[in-house]
């Protein structure tokens, strides 16, 4: 029995003796099945050909996979007192990654923005003794590898550790979530967004899409809902899907500016 992994989106599936017949996440209109067709690989295949790569982002540690794999997911280990919170996830967890995070005190919890970053969440949790993985319950149908470590949460906000609050914004997925960290490492509040909000190349704007690869926008109601969900929270920095996709100052104003620009663009 093997946990097969979809090569296109990097999602690990529950153990089976043969590869699954299809990938629900790639067949959804927010992703795509590649031109050459559905492909699968095993964890062992991935370990033999890829490794984790780390980026220092101030007090945060970014964790990726090289050479490029799946949709280029990146996880962030965020210091949280005597351990770290892992935000989002990647498809590979190596001994090197485990040792690196152990030096931060180990993982206290994991939280994931939406199904495109579920990746190898079960393996990551197991590598740290089964730490809880917080997923919004509205995205439960997209969990391809159900696991006892997964904690489905309901409602609009959840504090997962002191100062760390998950905020369900919806939009990209019904359960799409961002993570707010009050008084981040250097005294400024941080927002971690995955691609629930996508930080753009100028690093002064974000955007909001139902599908990024298929260019399906969100409607006004969805963007206003995201705006309203974030309204109570101050934040200075916004951390997106890579070190190059972060807004390091003026994050709150950047979101306000971006919501205004987006709504103007889709106005009749």
Binding site for Zn ion (CB under 5 A): 6, 8-9, 23, 25-26, 116, 195
Closest CA to 239 of 205, 191, 184: 191
**Nearest-approach distance from CB 32 to Zn ion, in angstroms:** 9
Is residue 167 within 8 Å of residue 177, measured between CB atoms? yes
- Which 3 state secondary structure label does DSSP give 183? coil
Is residue 144 within 8 Å of residue 197, measured between CB atoms? no
**Nearest-approach distance from CB 44 to Zn ion, in angstroms:** 19
Decide whether 23 or 112 has the Cβ nearer to Zn ion.
23
Decide whether 61 or 198 has the Cβ nearer to Zn ion.
198
Query: 33-46 burial, b if ≥16 CB within 10 A, otherwise e?
Result: eeeeebebbebeeb
In the block, which residue shows the tokens 């089976």? 16
Distance CA 90, CA 163 (A): 24
Decide whether 139 or 195 has the Cβ nearer to Zn ion.
195
Note if the bond before 67 is cis, omega within 30 degrees: yes
**Nearest-approach distance from CB 24 to Zn ion, in angstroms:** 8
Decide whether 19 or 105 has the Cβ nearer to Zn ion.
19
**Nearest-approach distance from CB 109 to Zn ion, in angstroms:** 21
Decide whether 101 or 144 has the Cβ nearer to Zn ion.
144
Beta strands, E only, the chain: 5-6, 40-41, 51-57, 60-66, 75-79, 84-87, 107-111, 133-136, 150-153, 157-161, 164-168, 177-181, 190-192, 198-199, 206-207, 209-211, 216-217, 237-239, 246-247
DSSP state of 84: E
- Partners of 2 in the β-ladder: 16
Decide whether 144 or 160 has the Cβ nearer to Zn ion.
144
**Nearest-approach distance from CB 171 to Zn ion, in angstroms:** 10
**Nearest-approach distance from CB 230 to Zn ion, in angstroms:** 18
**Nearest-approach distance from CB 35 to Zn ion, in angstroms:** 14
Decide whether 39 or 260 has the Cβ nearer to Zn ion.
39
């Amino acid at each position: 029995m093997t946990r097969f992994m979809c090569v296109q989106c990097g999602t690990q599936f529950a153990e089976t003796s043969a590869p699954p017949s299809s990938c629900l996440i790639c067949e959804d209109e927010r992703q795509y099945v590649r031109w050459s067709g559905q492909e699968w690989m095993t964890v062992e295949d991935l370990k033999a050909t890829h490794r984790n790569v780390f980026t220092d982002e101030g007090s945060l540690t970014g964790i990726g996979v090289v050479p490029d794999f799946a949709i280029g997911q990146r996880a962030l280990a965020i210091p949280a007192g005597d351990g770290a919170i892992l935000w989002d996830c990647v498809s590979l967890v190596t001994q090197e990654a485990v040792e690196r995070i152990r030096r931060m005190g180990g993982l206290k919890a994991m939280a994931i923005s939406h199904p495109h970053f579920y990746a190898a969440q079960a393996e990551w949790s197991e590598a740290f003794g089964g730490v809880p993985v917080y997923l919004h319950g509205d995205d439960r149908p997209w969990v391809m590898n159900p696991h006892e470590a997964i904690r489905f949460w309901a409602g609009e906000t959840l504090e997962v550790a002191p100062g760390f609050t998950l905020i369900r914004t919806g939009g990209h997925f019904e359960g799409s979530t961002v993570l707010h960290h009050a008084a981040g490492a250097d005294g400024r509040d941080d927002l971690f967004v995955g691609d629930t909000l996508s930080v753009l190349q100028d690093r002064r704007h974000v955007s909001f899409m139902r599908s990024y690869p298929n260019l399906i926008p969100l409607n006004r109601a969805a963007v206003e809902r995201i705006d309203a969900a974030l309204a109570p929270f101050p934040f200075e920095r916004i951390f997106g899907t890579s070190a190059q996709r972060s807004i390091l100052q003026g994050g709150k104003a950047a979101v306000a500016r971006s919501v205004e620009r987006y709504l103007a663009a889709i106005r009749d």
